[in-house]
Chain A
Amino acid sequence: MNNPHHLNPTSLKSRFTTRFLRALTKIRAQKPISSSSPTEIFRRYRRIKVAADKSMAYSVRSRRIWSRAMLWKLRSRSYRRQDPCSGRRSGKTSQAIMKKSSNENTTTRREDGVGFVEEADELRQLVPGGETMNLCNLLDETAHYIKCLTTQVQVMKKIADFYSF
């Protein structure tokens, strides 16, 4: 089928779609299709959610603070699952890094002076890696994160539509 309105192959959407579909096929291949107990479905849901986040983070690479933070979180989680000892180690380093960066950045947070500390903190919790950002960066990252989330939702919606028929 020749589609003159081809999607840009290097766009975020196409990168995310290819990765996510590959992950989905892997997930489907792992488990037999017939199993439909609630726990199985729940486990698959978790896996799909992680795959979606991972696909999005890998599509953005390390260009953004939030993607770096998300990739780092995913990697440390996978390390923890593979090897409990390495998990402990990575846990310690992660705590050290977070403490250090939060110490550095509590001062920047206080110096914001715009008076939106509560909302800003709430936003920091939502955006991955947001604890280490001052307000300026936080707003940038939020904008890009929103753009990526909308892309993710759009693609997943179409995939879900696809699957449902």
Chain B
Amino acid sequence: MDVTLLDRQQATCPLELCASSVPLFQSYLGSGPIVELKRPEAYLSGDGFHEFVYFPVGGGTEFGDSEKLNLVPPDAAPGYCISRTSSCQMTAFHAAAMKEEREDMILEKMESTPGSGSRESFTKRKAEVVADRKSKDKRIKGELEGESEVKTKCSTQVSRNSSKENSKACEVRKPDYIHVRARRGQATDSHSLAERARREKISKKMKCLQDLVPGCNTITGKAGMLDEIINYVQSLQRQVEFLSMKIAALNSSAEFNVENLPIKELPSYVANFPAAAKLPAMPNLTCFQLNSMQKEAVNCMLNETMHPPLTATEGIASASVSIPEQALSSSTITQLQPFSTWNMDPQGLYNLYNMGFH
């Protein structure tokens, strides 16, 4: 594979630097996927993917800070560069040192008399690149990821110096890659585009879910979002269980007949309750005049099916906050005002309810 890449490299890019430097690199790397050095101009000519590892050849003006480390699969077509980007954690001194090192290296390559110290460090870095690249091969193969995804992946990579211009260059080059891939006869074009479309759809849906689930504006990243969604769905399901248990317990102690309720009117009446009414915590159920047996039942149901009621209350409180308020008429508001407090005596509220219906 190395040889064929070499051949293709030399055939398509007759740069002296490449021709002379590749065998040197070979000697440094030994076996393994080829790591090629190219001039930035050739790189800009439209080869490569936006996932790449790049070693800038030019002078120190191109060094800067950026956050991307892009890797490219070893079996990529000829003419891809290996570029390395650095994280911003590099200190100025270190950056300068690296710069010098690299410049020395590059000059030495051109003169084909490399220094020992820089060569070793260079080899080490190359080895790391190779190792990184190997670990990412399977994920990268056949996949074209969006810029943002690449950035999140690469921000955890080894820090290196590189140029911002190169990262910009690869962004500019992105539209060209389609033609490049077509030129190379790669069949993954439609697949990768479809993959990208799918990813965008999924991220759009995640954004919608972010609006639905309260309190997840701070969380970035899909995994955290999914965890939040899972927690929210679980809490909602637990709330439903808790409420059905509550209705069951209260059902048996209700003083009025449900059959008397005009069922068609009830939905609007129920809807007009102030939405801010919160469910009391477990201890407050005593105010509902449960007898001891019912309390017991409630307790064992809670132990059996749910987490501690505190979490349920928190979940319920958050849910009530997130539920949009229904429009209330002024008359019903004045009528229902007492409903918002839990300390109302049951008889008074019962009278109010009757008034509301007759």
Contacts and interface: CB of A to CB of B under 8 A. Distances in A.
Interface of A: 1, 3-7, 13-14, 17-18, 21-22, 24-25, 27-29, 33-38, 40-42, 44-45, 47-49, 52-53, 113-114, 116, 119-120, 122-123, 126-127, 135-136, 139-140, 142-143, 145-147, 149-150, 152-165
Given A21-B266, A160-B279, A163-B250, A38 B243 contact: no
B328 A5 contact: yes
Contacts of A162: 270, 273, 353
A156 B252 contact: no
Contacts of A45: 244-245, 248-249, 301
Contacts of B263: 18, 21-22, 25
Contacts of A25: 258-259, 263
Given A113-B143, A120-B226, A150-B319, 15 more contacts: A7-B268, A14-B267, A21-B258, A37-B293, A47-B248, A48-B244, A119-B230, A139-B206, A149-B236, A153-B236, A153-B319, A158-B270, A158-B271, A160-B279, A165-B353
18 contacts: A3-B272, A4-B329, A5-B326, A5-B328, A7-B268, A29-B259, A41-B297, A49-B240, A135-B202, A136-B205, A146-B209, A149-B236, A157-B243, A157-B316, A158-B273, A159-B247, A160-B246, A164-B250
Interface stretch (B7-15, B19-27, B343-351): B343-351
Contacts, number: 207
A145 B229 CA distance: 11
Interface of B: 143, 195, 198-199, 201-202, 205-206, 208-209, 212-213, 222-223, 226-227, 229-230, 232-234, 236-237, 239-241, 243-254, 258-259, 261, 263-268, 270-273, 275, 277, 279, 288, 291, 293-294, 296-298, 300-301, 316, 319-320, 322-323, 326-329, 332, 339, 344, 346, 349-350, 353, 356-357
A86 to B, nearest CB: 28
A87 to B, nearest CB: 25
B271 A156 contact: no
B243 A7 contact: no
A40 B296 CA distance: 12
A113 B327 CA distance: 45
Given A36-B291, A41-B252, A114-B222, A126 B230 contact: yes
A120 B213 CA distance: 16
Question: Is the contact region of chain A dominated by helix, strand, or loop, or is it mixed?
Answer: helix
Contacts of B298: 41
A142 B244 contact: no
Contacts of B239: 153
B272 to A, nearest CB: 7
Contacts of A123: 226, 229-230, 233
A17 B272 CA distance: 13
Give chain B's interface secondary structure class.
helix
B29 to A, nearest CB: 30
Given A21-B266, A149-B237, A156-B247, A114 B202 contact: yes
A64 to B, nearest CB: 15
B297 A37 contact: yes
Contact of A119 (B195, B227, B247, B316): B227
B222 A164 contact: no
B230 A33 contact: no
A163 B290 CA distance: 12
Contacts of A40: 252
A126 B208 contact: no
Contacts of B328: 5
